[in-house]
C-alpha cells in the first residue's frame, strides 16, 4: 500500500468526512456566498485566470437523510475570466457584485454575477491612490444599505468608496506609509487593520483618523510579517483578536488593550514561512476559542486557545502549544512526497458546520474536511 493509501486508512479515524478536488488553477481566495457556495479565483500572472462560483455538494447542507445524497462534487454555478491575477475577492452582501484586487495594484475590479446565465462579468473599476505596481490593496466591504468598499495598500491610502456613487466617504488622511496586510470590517462604523509589521488598529469611521492601536514595538521587531483576524465582535469580554507572525508566534489580544496581548504562544511550525504573504489565522465561527492557522507549509493547524490565558513559561519565553488537529491531507493526497511540497494558500471555516473547513494549496487542490475531535468525550 502506498503512503497515500496508508494515510487514507488513518483518515477514517481522523475525519468525519473528507473531499478532495482538483481545480483548473490554484486559488488564494475562498470567499463564502451564503453557506452553500464559495468563490475561488486564479492568481497566475502570465495567462487568463478564472473566477468560479462553486456550489458545495448538497450533502454538506442537508441535516437529515444525508445518506440519500450521493453527489460529492462541486458544481460550477458561475464563471468569469480575469486578465489580472487575483489575490483578494470580496462579495458585496445582498448584491450580485464582487470586488477583486490583484497585481498590478492600481485599481480594483468590480464584477457582476449574472442571474440568467452562468457568467461573471467585469463591470467597472475603482481607482486607488497608491499606484504601486508591486503592492496590491487589501479589500473589505461595509455591508450597509449603501455598500462601501474599504481598500488600501498602505495606511496612508486607506479609503472607503461608496459603491454606487463612487464618492469617497472616508479616508485615513495620514502620511504613514506602513504596508497593510489585512483589513476587516467589524460593523457599520468600525474596521480593523493589521500592518505587515504587526501593528494593529481599530478604526471608527465616524471620527477623523484616531485608531485604537498598539504602537509598542513588541511584535514585529525581527523583520517578521504579521496578519490578524478579529473573532466574534461585540460578543462579550475576552480576547477576540488573533495575530499571527511569520516566525510562528500567535498572540491573542483584547480590543480594550491592544498593547498587552492576553497570551502569546509559539506554534510548532516550520519557519520561516516560504511565503509570509500567505499567512492566515481564522477564528472558528462555531467553536468557542478555536483558531486555525496556515501558510507555513502544506498543513492547516487547529488550536484550542481556552487554556492559553497568561501563558508564559517561568523564564518569560513563550510556551509551545500543540494543535488540537493538523490537516495533512494536502501532503499525502497531492504531494506524493516527490514534487516540491505543496503550500496552503488559504483556508476558511464553514459558516454552519462547526468542524468543517476548506483549504487550498498552490498546486490547485481544494479540500473540504470535517475533523474529529479525538479529545472530546464520545
Partner 1 sequence: MCGAGFGHFEWLAGGGAGQDVGRSCILVSIAGKNVMLDCGMHMGFNDDRRFPDFSYITQNGRLTDFLDCVIISHFHLDHCGALPYFSEMVGYDGPIYMTHPTQAICPILLEDYRKIAVDKKGEANFFTSQMIKDCMKKVVAVHLHQTVQVDDELEIKAYYAGHVLGAAMFQIKVGSESVVYTGDYNMTPDRHLGAAWIDKCRPNLLITESTYATTIRDSKRCRERDFLKKVHETVERGGKVLIPVFALGRAQELCILLETFWERMNLKVPIYFSTGLTEKANHYYKLFIPWTNQKIRKTFVQRNMFEFKHIKAFDRAFADNPGPMVVFATPGMLHAGQSLQIFRKWAGNEKNMVIMPGYCVQGTVGHKILSGQRKLEMEGRQVLEVKMQVEYMSFSAHADAKGIMQLVGQAEPESVLLVHGEAKKMEFLKQKIEQELRVSCYMPANGETVTLPTSPSIPVGISLGLLKREMAQGLLPEAKKPRLLHGTLIMKDSNFRLVSSEQALKELGLAEHQLRFTCRVHLHDTRKEQETALRVYSHLKSVLKDHCVQHLPDGSVTVESVLLQAAAPSEDPGTKVLLVSWTYQDEELGSFLTSLLKKGLPQAPS
Q: Could you list the residues that contact partner 1 (CB under 8 A)?
A: 1, 4-6, 8-9, 11-12, 17-24, 48, 50, 54, 57, 65, 67-81, 116-120, 333
Grid cell locating 46: 502570465
Residues 6+ positions from 40 with CB-CB distance below 8 Å: 23, 27, 29, 30, 51, 52, 54, 360, 366
Question: Which residues touch 39 (CB under 8 Å, ≥6 apart)?
Answer: 29, 30, 31, 33, 51, 52, 53, 54, 89, 91, 98
Q: Decide whether 123 or 127 has the Cβ nearer to partner 1.
A: 123
Q: Which three cell numbers stand for residue 343?
A: 503550500
Compute the least distance from the CB of residue 323 to partner 1, in Å. 22
Phi, psi of 264 (to 5 degrees): -145, 115
**Least gap, CB of 114 to partner 1 (angstroms):** 8
Q: Of 73, 200, 90, which is closest to residue 138 (Cα–Cα)?
A: 90
| Residue number, 117 or 235, with CB nearest to partner 1 | 117
Nearer to partner 1, 242 or 344 (CB): 344
Among 298, 288, 281, smallest CA distance to 365 is for 298
Q: Measured from the CB atom, is 106 or 122 closer to partner 1?
A: 122
Query: Which residue lies nearer to partner 1 by CB, 42 or 137?
Result: 42
In the complex, the smallest distance separating the C-beta of residue 76 from partner 1, rounded to whole angstroms, is: 4
- Rounded distance between C-alpha atoms, residue 151 and residue 129, angstroms: 10
Q: Which residues pair with 42 in a beta bridge?
A: 27
Cβ of residue 257: shortest distance to partner 1, in angstroms?
45
First to last CA, the chain: 31
Closer CB to partner 1, residue 83 or residue 176?
83
C-alpha 281 chain-centroid distance: 7
Give the cell for residue 108. 480594483
DSSP state of 31: E
Considering the complex, state which of residue 170 and residue 332 has its C-beta at the smaller distance from partner 1. 332
Question: In the complex with partner 1, which residue's Cβ is closer, 17 or 275?
Answer: 17
Question: CA–CA separation, 131 vs 124, rounded Å?
Answer: 18
- Judge contact between 86 and 29, C-beta under 8 A: yes
* C-alpha dist (Å) from residue 330 to 193, 356, 359, 360: 30, 16, 9, 8
Amino acid at each position: 500500500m502506498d503512503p497515500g493509501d496508508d494515510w487514507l486508512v488513518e483518515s477514517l479515524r481522523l475525519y468525519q468526512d473528507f473531499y478532495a478536488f482538483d481545480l483548473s488553477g490554484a486559488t488564494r481566495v475562498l470567499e463564502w456566498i451564503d453557506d452553500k457556495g464559495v468563490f475561488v479565483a486564479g492568481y497566475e500572472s502570465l495567462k487568463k485566470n478564472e473566477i468560479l462560483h462553486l456550489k458545495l455538494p448538497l450533502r454538506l447542507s442537508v441535516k437529515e437523510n444525508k445518506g440519500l445524497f450521493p453527489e460529492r462534487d462541486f458544481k460550477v454555478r458561475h464563471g468569469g475570466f480575469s486578465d489580472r491575477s487575483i489575490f483578494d475577492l470580496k462579495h458585496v452582501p445582498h448584491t450580485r457584485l464582487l470586488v477583486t484586487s490583484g497585481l498590478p495594484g492600481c485599481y480594483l475590479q468590480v464584477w457582476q454575477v449574472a442571474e440568467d446565465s452562468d457568467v461573471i462579468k467585469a463591470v467597472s473599476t475603482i481607482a486607488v491612490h497608491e499606484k504601486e505596481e508591486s503592492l496590491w490593496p487589501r479589500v473589505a466591504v461595509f455591508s450597509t444599505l449603501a455598500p462601501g468598499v474599504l481598500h488600501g495598500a498602505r495606511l496612508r491610502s486607506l479609503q472607503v468608496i461608496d459603491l454606487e456613487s463612487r464618492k469617497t466617504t472616508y479616508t485615513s488622511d495620514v502620511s504613514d506609509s506602513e504596508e497593510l496586510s489585512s483589513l476587516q470590517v467589524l460593523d457599520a462604523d468600525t474596521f480593523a487593520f493589521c500592518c505587515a509589521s504587526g501593528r494593529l488598529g481599530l478604526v471608527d469611521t465616524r471620527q477623523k483618523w484616531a485608531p485604537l492601536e498598539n504602537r509598542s514595538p513588541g511584535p514585529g521587531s525581527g523583520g517578521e510579517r504579521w496578519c490578524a483576524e478579529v473573532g466574534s465582535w461585540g460578543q462579550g469580554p475576552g480576547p477576540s483578536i488573533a495575530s499571527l507572525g511569520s516566525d510562528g508566534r500567535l498572540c491573542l489580544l483584547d480590543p480594550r488593550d491592544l498593547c498587552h496581548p492576553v497570551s502569546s504562544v509559539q506554534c510548532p511550525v516550520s519557519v520561516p514561512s516560504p511565503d509570509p504573504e500567505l499567512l492566515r489565522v481564522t477564528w472558528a465561527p462555531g467553536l468557542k476559542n478555536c483558531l486555525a492557522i496556515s501558510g507555513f507549509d502544506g498543513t492547516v493547524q487547529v488550536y484550542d486557545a481556552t487554556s492559553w490565558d497568561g501563558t508564559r513559561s517561568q523564564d518569560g519565553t513563550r510556551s509551545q502549544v500543540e494543535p488540537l488537529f493538523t490537516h495533512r491531507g494536502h501532503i499525502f493526497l497531492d504531494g506524493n512526497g516527490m514534487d516540491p511540497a505543496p503550500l496552503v494558500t488559504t483556508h476558511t471555516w464553514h459558516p454552519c458546520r462547526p468542524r468543517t473547513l476548506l483549504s487550498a494549496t498552490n498546486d490547485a487542490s481544494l479540500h473540504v474536511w470535517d475533523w474529529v475531535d479525538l479529545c472530546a468525550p464520545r
